[in-house]
Amino acid sequence: MGAAYTARPLQPADREDRVNAQYPMPHGGSEPHQPAQARVFIVDDDAAICAALARLLRLQGYAVSTFASAEAFLAEHDPRAWGCIVLDVALPGCDGLALQRLLEERGSSMPIVFLTGAADVPMCAQAMKRGAFDFLTKPIDGEVLFAAVADALRRDRELMRERAQREAAESRLATLTVREREVLAHVVAGRLNKQIAADLGTAEKTVKVHRARGMQKMHVRSVAELVRVMEQAGPSR
């Protein structure tokens, strides 16, 4: 009878080689696609997978930060940074879905690309319902990962632009007096100066003064521009 075979445990180097084989570098993959300030945050408790994904994304020109847990990521997370999160679902402690909820509660809109070792339809549906950008199954093709990350970063750039416009509009609104706000609200509603004067119980000349000052503070020259800026400030304004 032959000697029994005992499987040799994978050493760290073997493990990383196997993971690297699952995530091969595609042809022509060394050309950067994004400016250096774009950052990809990888959150996965498997150090070998983190290393392999980080290597691939850095070769694409991305700045990459890796974290072994949701807690470690939260300790350093800047919600105003431009980037996206590549997030493993099955994390110890705070798992991927729980981290997604925490980020939502903190007002973070950074896109999340979920990774999972096993397709789970209810889990995927829950993540997508809460705003996940994409949901990919391991092992993932490098090109698929690159496409998801590139799309997520474009989306985050759009969100940052919208946020900057909203904050600028809110800042301008904050400089208005109560009367100027009232007058401009009527202007946005399409009211004429004489109609506004009648509604507010004041002289038309006074309305013109408040309107001119308000338009100047809002940095607009037309009603169409005013409407656009007011919309950027949000419905609550």
**pLDDT tens digits, one per residue of 173-182:** 999 999 999 9
Q: Which CATH superfamily is domain 33-164 in?
A: Response regulator (3.40.50.2300)
Contact 111, 84 (CB under 8 A): yes
pTM over 0.75: no
Q: Which two tokens stand for residue 47?
A: 């150090």
Residues 6+ apart with CB under 8 A from 61: 31, 32, 33, 34, 36
Q: If pLDDT is split at 50, 70 and 90, which confidence band does 80 have? A: confident
Short-list 108, 155, 144, CA closest to 26: 144
pLDDT of residue 96: 87
pLDDT of residue 120: 65
For the chain, which residues make up each domain, given as ranges?
A: 33-164, 175-233
Is pLDDT of 127 > 80? no
- Mean pLDDT value across residues 161-188: 90
The pLDDT tens digits for 43-63 are: 999 999 999 999 999 998 899
CB 82 within 8 A of CB 157: yes
Fold of 175-233: Arc Repressor Mutant, subunit A (1.10.10)
